[in-house]
Structure 1
Amino acid sequence: MLAWRMERQQLVSRRPREDLQAVVGTIGGLHAQVLSAAELAAWARVDGLRPGELDEELWERRSLVKLWAMRGTLHLLPAAEYGLWQAALNTYDHYLKGGWLRGFKITREELGLLLSTVREVLRGKGLTRDELAEAVAAASGSPALGEKLGDSWGAYLKPASFQGSICFGPNRGRSVTFVSPGEWIEAEPGPPADEAVAEVTRRYLRAYGPATAAEYSRWWGPRRPAQATRSFRALGEEAVEIDVEGEPHWALAEEIEGIAKAVPQGAVRLLPAFDPYVIGSARDVAAILDPEHKGRVHRPQGWISPVLLVDGRIEGVWSYERGGGRVAVAIEPFGQLGEAVRQGAEAEAERLAAFYGDELALEWV
Structure 2
Amino acid sequence: MATLRWNQVHAWRLSQQSLHERPNCEHMLDVVARMGGAHAQLMSAAELSLWARVNDLTALDVQDALWRDRMLVKTWAMRGTLHLVTTADFPLYVALFNTFTHYRRASWLKYHGVTIAELEAIIEGVRSTLSDAGLTREQLAEALADQTNTPKLRELLQSGWGALLKPSAFLGDLCFGPNQGQQVTFVRPAAWLATTQPSDEQQSRETVIRRYLTTYGPATSDELARWFGMEVSAAKKHLRLLGSAVVEIDVEGWKAWLLAATLEQMDDLSVSGVVRLLPHFDPYTIAVARHHQYLMPAEHKTRVYRAQGWISPVVLVDGEIAGVWKHEKQQNYVVIQIELFAPPTDQVQHGIAAEAHRLGTFLETEVELVYV
Pick the TM interval, shorter chain: over 0.9
Q: Which amino acid aligns with 1:200?
A: V
Bigger drift between 153-162 and 118-127 goes to: 118-127
Name the CA distance, whole Å, in 1 between partners of 2:312 and 2:361.
Answer: 22
Query: How far off its partner does 1:322 sit?
Result: 2.2
Secondary structure at 2:370's aligned position in 1?
A: strand
Name the CA distance, whole Å, in 2 between partners of 1:363 and 1:282.
Answer: 27
Name the CA distance, whole Å, in 1 between partners of 2:132 and 2:90.
Answer: 19
Contact (CA 8 Å) 1:164, 1:181: kept in 2 or not?
A: yes
Query: How far off its partner does 1:110 sit?
Result: 1.2
Q: Which residue of 2 aligns with 1:117?
A: 125
Name the CA distance, whole Å, in 2 between partners of 1:269 and 1:311.
Answer: 9
Are residues 1:11 and 2:19 paired?
yes
Q: Which residue of 2 aligns with 1:291?
A: 298
Name the CA distance, whole Å, in 1 between partners of 2:334 and 2:290.
Answer: 30
Contact (CA 8 Å) 1:284, 1:291: kept in 2 or not?
A: no
Query: How far off its partner does 1:186 sit?
Result: 0.9
Bigger drift between 173-182 and 187-196 goes to: 187-196
Alpha-carbon deviations, 1:21-61, whole Å to 9, x = none?
Answer: 11101110000000011101000000111133211111111
Out of 343, 348, 360, which is 1:336 matched to? 343
Q: Which residue of 2 aligns with 1:229?
A: 236
Contact (CA 8 Å) 1:5, 1:207: kept in 2 or not?
A: yes
Distance 1:37 1:96, change over 3 A: same
Give the TM-score of the pair, scaled to structure 2: 0.94
Secondary structure at 1:332's aligned position in 2?
A: strand
Query: How far off its partner does 1:198 sit?
Result: 1.0
Alpha-carbon deviations, 1:101-160, whole Å to 9, x = none?
Answer: 122122111110111011111135311011111000112222123332123331101111
Q: Which residue of 1 aligns with 2:63?
A: 55
Contact (CA 8 Å) 2:131, 2:192: kept in 1 or not?
A: no
Name the CA distance, whole Å, in 2 between partners of 1:334 and 1:145.
Answer: 48
Alpha-carbon deviations, 1:193-219, whole Å to 9, x = none?
Answer: 322221111000011001111111111
Alpha-carbon deviations, 1:177-204, whole Å to 9, x = none?
Answer: 1111111111251143322221111000
Q: Which amino acid aligns with 1:340?
A: Q
Name the CA distance, whole Å, in 2 between partners of 1:125 and 1:61.
Answer: 16
Name the CA distance, whole Å, in 2 between partners of 1:325 and 1:79.
Answer: 37
Please show how residues 20-99 of structure 1 align to structure 2 within 5 Å: 20-99=28-107
Name the CA distance, whole Å, in 1 between partners of 2:121 and 2:273.
Answer: 54
Name the CA distance, whole Å, in 1 between partners of 2:71 and 2:354.
Answer: 30
Contact (CA 8 Å) 2:190, 2:196: kept in 1 or not?
A: no
Q: Which residue of 2 aligns with 1:351?
A: 358
Contact (CA 8 Å) 1:95, 1:101: kept in 2 or not?
A: yes
Q: Which residue of 1 aligns with 2:154?
A: 146
Name the CA distance, whole Å, in 2 between partners of 1:183 and 1:220.
Answer: 26
Query: How many aligned residue pairs are there?
Result: 364
Name the CA distance, whole Å, in 1 between partners of 2:156 and 2:261.
Answer: 48
Q: Which amino acid aligns with 1:230?
A: K
Give the TM-score of the pair, scaled to structure 1: 0.96
Alpha-carbon deviations, 1:305-331, whole Å to 9, x = none?
Answer: 000000110000001122333121111
Moved over 4 A (4+): none
Secondary structure at 1:152's aligned position in 2?
A: coil
Contact (CA 8 Å) 1:81, 1:187: kept in 2 or not?
A: no
Q: Which residue of 2 aligns with 1:278?
A: 285
Contact (CA 8 Å) 1:32, 1:38: kept in 2 or not?
A: yes
- Show structure 2 runs of 5+ residues with no match: 1-8
Identity over the aligned pairs, expressed in percent?
46
Query: How far off its partner does 1:278 sit?
Result: 0.5
Q: Which amino acid aligns with 1:199?
A: T
Q: Which residue of 2 aligns with 1:254?
A: 261
